Amino acid sequence: SQELEQSPQSLIVQEGKNLTINCTSSKTLYGLYWYKQKYGEGLIFLMMLQKGGEEKSHEKITAKLDEKKQQSSLHITASQPSHAGIYLCGADITGTASKLTFGTGTRLQVTL
């Protein structure tokens, strides 16, 4: 079974709409990273969360880590075509602050 579950697997939203992507683990998330990837390209770092209850925002993207540090959400407000891509959550579930375990990704399409 996947150690890190991401949902939904794919998402199509109309431009201007809000959306949320979730990342859930059965293990404690010592560090949770959100990345964006365009198909066939590298990962773009979005945000890193470490503390339970932590919330960070950048432009129209907000990421949260729950108090139990087992679930994170990525929320995009007023989506734009530039938000389209694959969103991946990566987690440090070993506490080594090094290698990450990745979720399966969420493919986001934004329609006009």
Partner 1 sequence: GAVVSQHPSRVICKSGTSVKIECRSLDFQATTMFWYRQFPKQSLMLMATSNEGSKATYEQGVEKDKFLINHASLTLSTLTVTSAHPEDSSFYICSARRFGLAGDTNTGELFFGEGSRLTVL
Q: Which two tokens stand for residue 53?
A: 């209850």
Q: Where are the beta strands (DSSP E) in 50-97?
A: 55-58, 61-65, 71-76, 85-92
Q: Choose the stretch contacting partner 1; rule: CB under 8 A; options: 15-23, 29-37, 57-65, 72-80.
A: 29-37
DSSP state of 37: E
Cβ 104 to partner 1, closest distance in Å? 5
Based on the shown chain and the rule CB under 8 A, indicate whether residue 90 belongs to the binding site for partner 1: yes
Whether cis (ω within 30° of 0) applies to the bond prior to 8 is yes
Based on the shown chain and the rule CB under 8 A, indicate whether residue 1 belongs to the binding site for partner 1: no
Which residues in this chain contact partner 1 in the complex, by CB under 8 A? 30-31, 33, 35, 40-43, 45, 48, 50, 88, 90, 97-105
